[in-house]
Structure 1
């Protein structure tokens, strides 16, 4: 019997640049080191932010002597699915009233997106290969999941120009116009990676193009309420498309808005044109779920459903979210003003024009590398900053480093 493993020829994968940076940060012993590439919402003490109401309800559920320990159905907790569907669409949504909106509970947003992609690749336009339009520069996460699901016809559409630090809406429209008819279009809303929020008139123009080209909207509603502080305002684009009679999917994530990172609570929202279509789509998705994770976790979903169904708890949660959004806005204003006072010879208004957890500040990959090597300041390669990682202890140091690297490149 050989002593060699049957997997001896399996190559190691190369780590992503962000993973490499985080490892370098952890190994770095410098006392001024700063890491702003986190994917989670941090409180002032640098720990994951969890709303007080979530902590309270979580403990109540864990200590409940009659709590059920049985598996959830493949489609997830019916109470959770109903609650998050109403949160996204509004309780008076026509789609809900006509019983043609529902969803599937998933282990986080990645699972929801993967489930939706696999279903669409099997059942959407079965006579032709599926093409998918994804936003750029937000596209890496979507592209990885699409390729893992076997989707190769991927068409990026531009959203943001790093040189001008502006939304490029005309280019966005042009890219969608040039993409194949009947494509699936991924549409991030709320806490987008770029921090950019389109206006209502811009969303209406996009809806017109999608309708003209028979495209399928696939929304990504990440942490509803964390962009504006208002859950309905953050979900408006989705609600508008529903009012325009689109059939659509929407990934929902509750990691940051409820502080449930370790619970992986997500949902794939479905809006169809009839109850019959909804039931058929759900049944096919449940078959896919059985072959993947079989049943989702229960505790996080119970926390979300308990809060959303209790008016007092729901208002407390909304107040917690608004307080945190105000804190993020203050950090943005302090960052912009500090950079302005450092006379960096450029406008930093885009920092406060963006919203949510992340902001693209307009640095090149070379500048990002310089900051890591010379200043022990670690950012993702695209120069994206997690705003919640800034605080009174590091804000001036971070802005001074950014000021220095931008001034040096202007000389």
Structure 2
């Protein structure tokens, strides 16, 4: 017996007291543990090493405008439409569609599919490519407006376009100048961002010869980004004949086309006319990628509504491309918001609302054209002797004035007129109540100085 106890409970065998593991645990719990150190280990704070990032070039100006207390202040910076009183404008067709949407008992807030609402996507593609477009060959997905569309498209091209010989990244050629966000978007998507000449600052007009030379010199198989209409920021679009030549050159170099369409319908007031370049390139056999936004032309700035589409050669290609676009979207944001897309779907699926929407586009475009012409007229009236004809020849929301960064800084510091430092003015920010003040200020900072470089 003692031998067995010695094996099971060694202490009990020598002391005569039974000492089980449970007893050992209980006794250990009653013992006094050493006091813990009052000093805690120092954690690594990587946050303290993060530098302050620069403000966004455009949104930073908008914030400065908000905090400005000068009663004369005028915002001609941010690209958002304003009515003749300077107020944001909800398109009547959009308002009616939203009212109809909210009164629909079947409307819900469920997740959209990864590729978005398929009915909305098809209507958006018909709006861009035409009602007779062969949608069975177009892979389309809903996107977070134009920014999201560019990002998805950039990832897709970076992954699947063959790299030209000797290059480690797919090159994308972007016009100089361009929308400021293009560069960061495509860099973050893993592409090699390069530039091609677009605007001639000596003539304040399209640099067509420079554009053609640069596209011809780009490595064969590069991606070329083109603004479909109302080039931002210059408002200088190629003529139909120039678009023909650009298409032919791109074909000859086996380049890939990426169209960014943010102003269809808003540019000229005619959505069909504004789609000319896009549809012509498709007719010529380009397998284009299209980023499409409904922020400007539907006034859905805060709804983040757009599409990304790829023109394929066969339905089989379409299915393969669509599957890859979904794989890009899923880890990025899973699925898109539904509200803005539902509004666009209602407008474009109802003949009466579609007709009213086209009238709304013409109304916006007409006001912008009127402000463009009146600005030049008033500049002459207040004594400016500069040739401002380039402003009236431009199209879209912006006037690319030719003013230098110093002139722009002076407009802001002395006259509380907020604009980007490249001389771009949002004509939507002008109205009958402030246009004379703005014209006088522009005359003051440009008088006796050149508005061409």
TM over 0.5: yes
Say yes or no: does 1:374 pair with 2:414: yes
Residue 139 (structure 1) shift: 5.2
Residue 22 (structure 1) shift: 2.8
Q: 1:178 aligns with which of 198, 214, 217?
A: 217
| Structure-1 residue corresponding to 2:99 | 59
Unaligned runs of 5+ in 1: none
Deviation per CA, 1:31-90: give whole Å up to 9, x if none: 111121012111123222221010111122123212133211100111011001111111
User: Does the residue aligned with 1:197 lie in a helix, a strand or coil?
Assistant: coil
| Structure-2 residue corresponding to 1:158 | 197
Alpha carbons of 1:326 and 1:19: their partners in 2 closer, same or farther (altered >3 Å)?
Answer: closer
Contact 1:155/1:179, CA 8 A, preserved across alignment: no
| Structure-1 residue corresponding to 2:139 | 102
| Structure-2 residue corresponding to 1:240 | 280
| Structure-2 residue corresponding to 1:338 | 378
User: Does the residue aligned with 1:409 lie in a helix, a strand or coil?
Assistant: coil
Deviation per CA, 1:280-315: give whole Å up to 9, x if none: 011011011110110101111011011111111100
Q: How does 1:78-97 map to 2 (within 5 A)?
A: 78-93=118-133, 95-96=134-135
Say yes or no: does 1:143 pair with 2:183: yes
Q: Which has the higher contact order (CA 8 A, sep 6+)?
A: 1
User: Does the residue aligned with 1:8 lie in a helix, a strand or coil?
Assistant: helix
User: Does the residue aligned with 1:14 lie in a helix, a strand or coil?
Assistant: coil
Contact 2:58/2:78, CA 8 A, preserved across alignment: no
Q: How does 1:114-133 map to 2 (within 5 A)?
A: 114-125=151-162, 129-133=169-173
Q: 1:276 aligns with which of 300, 309, 316?
A: 316
| Structure-1 residue corresponding to 2:228 | 189
Say yes or no: does 1:298 pair with 2:318: no
Say yes or no: does 1:348 pair with 2:385: no
Deviation per CA, 1:119-155: give whole Å up to 9, x if none: 111111057530110011115321111122222x322
**Larger Rg, first or second structure (1 or 2):** 2
Greater displacement, 127-136 / 258-267: 127-136
Greater displacement, 291-300 / 12-21: 12-21
Say yes or no: does 1:49 pair with 2:75: no
Quick one: distance in 1 between partners of 2:58 and 2:110?
Answer: 38
Quick one: distance in 1 between partners of 2:263 and 2:60?
Answer: 27
Q: How does 1:308-319 map to 2 (within 5 A)?
A: 308-319=348-359
Q: Could you list the structure 1 runs, at least 4 aligned residues long, displaced by more than 6 angstroms after superposition.
A: none
Contact 1:365/1:381, CA 8 A, preserved across alignment: yes
Quick one: distance in 2 between partners of 1:157 and 1:201?
Answer: 20
Alpha carbons of 1:314 and 1:139: their partners in 2 closer, same or farther (altered >3 Å)?
Answer: closer
Residue 20 (structure 1) shift: 3.9
Contact 1:359/1:387, CA 8 A, preserved across alignment: yes
| Structure-1 residue corresponding to 2:37 | none
Say yes or no: does 1:70 pair with 2:110: yes
Quick one: distance in 1 between partners of 2:324 and 2:63?
Answer: 41
Unaligned runs of 5+ in 2: 1-39
Greater displacement, 198-207 / 342-351: 342-351
User: Does the residue aligned with 2:47 lie in a helix, a strand or coil?
Assistant: coil
Quick one: distance in 1 between partners of 2:244 and 2:156?
Answer: 27
| Structure-1 residue corresponding to 2:439 | 399
Residue 25 (structure 1) shift: 2.2
User: Does the residue aligned with 1:7 lie in a helix, a strand or coil?
Assistant: helix
RMSD over aligned Cα atoms: 1.7
| Structure-1 residue corresponding to 2:301 | 261
